[in-house]
Amino acid sequence: MQKQRIGILGGTFDPPHLGHLVIANEVLHTLKLDQIAFMPNQEPPHKVRKSGTTESDRVRMLELAIRDNPFFVIEKIELERQGKSYSLDTIKMLKERNPDVEYYFIIGADMVEYLPKWHGIEELAELVTFIGVNRPDYALESPYPVQYIEVPQMDISSTLIRERCKKSFSIKYLLPDNVIHYIEENGLYES
Ligand SMILES: Nc1ncnc2c1ncn2[C@@H]1O[C@H](COP(=O)(O)OP(=O)(O)OP(=O)(O)O)[C@@H](O)[C@H]1O
Ligand SMILES: O=C(O)c1ccc[n+]([C@@H]2O[C@H](COP(=O)([O-])O)[C@@H](O)[C@H]2O)c1
């Protein structure tokens, strides 16, 4: 039996935006994967979250963002454990639960640059195939094995969206309309 092939897009998704959706879709189709699992982290290993959104806000926004795509799912495994969400621990747990799945870990070029600092990177690189996608202002080079996929470049980040909300500046077209409604209804990122 052929193994199931799943792309994992790990992230903070605070909030999810079109950059996430476009890279997920490009990788899904280029590699003909079975599905893409968006995996929100509990506590990002390399940055401090200051936005004030709750875990359930981030999950709800992701649910809304991927709602119309049957190939997109949410993997909540990192929300089940406290502390920093090291990818090595997560992938080991996922492989234990699903031994017949091959995992493709999708990362933007900022994370490709950061790979040497990932916890247990040598071991992790043996367990997954890293898929690197371009992102403005970052190089796509790594001493670790990374398969590169060229995606339409978008200078959108969650930081940009949070900053715009704070200034009451428009965020239309940068993320799905239903996520924008959620942000507005719940007054997220206003301060
Ligand atoms: N516009 C983009 N182009 C390519 N990759 C992206 C883009 N936005 C996010 N990514 C990648 O998606 C993954 C999850 O990103 P994350 O949820 O941290 O979003 P972010 O926009 O980088 O957030 P923040 O601005 O808060 O740091 C990371 O691997 C990141 O490199
Ligand atoms: O395990 C690590 O050391 C590690 C270091 C940096 C980032 N990551 C993972 O890379 C993914 C993207 O991270 P972020 O912070 O840009 O959302 C997310 O799943 C993180 O948990 C993992």
Which of 13, 87, 91, 114 should be mutated for ligand 2, with most atoms under 8 A from CB?
A: 87
Check pocket membership of 46 for ligand 2, CB cut-off 6 A.
yes
> What is the reported pLDDT for 44?
87
ipTM at complex level = 0.99
> What is the reported pLDDT for 20?
98
Check pocket membership of 120 for ligand 2, CB cut-off 6 A.
no
Q: How far is CA 98 from CA 9, 73, 127, 167, 170, in A?
A: 17, 16, 13, 44, 42
Check pocket membership of 166 for ligand 2, CB cut-off 6 A.
no
Indicate whether this model's pTM tops 0.90.
yes
Which atom of ligand 1 is closest in space to residue 160's alpha carbon?
25
- As averages over each run of 10 residues, the pLDDT of the chain (191 residues) reads 92 98 98 98 86 95 98 97 93 97 97 96 97 94 96 96 97 98 97 86
| Distance from C-alpha of 106 to C-alpha of 112, rounded to nearest angstrom | 10
> What is the reported pLDDT for 51?
85
DSSP letter, residue 71: T
* pLDDT 10s digits, 26-62: 999 999 999 999 999 999 898 888 888 999 999 999 9
What's the gap in Å between 100 CA and the centre of ligand 1? 28
Contact predicate 104/73, CB 8 Å: no
> What is the reported pLDDT for 95?
97
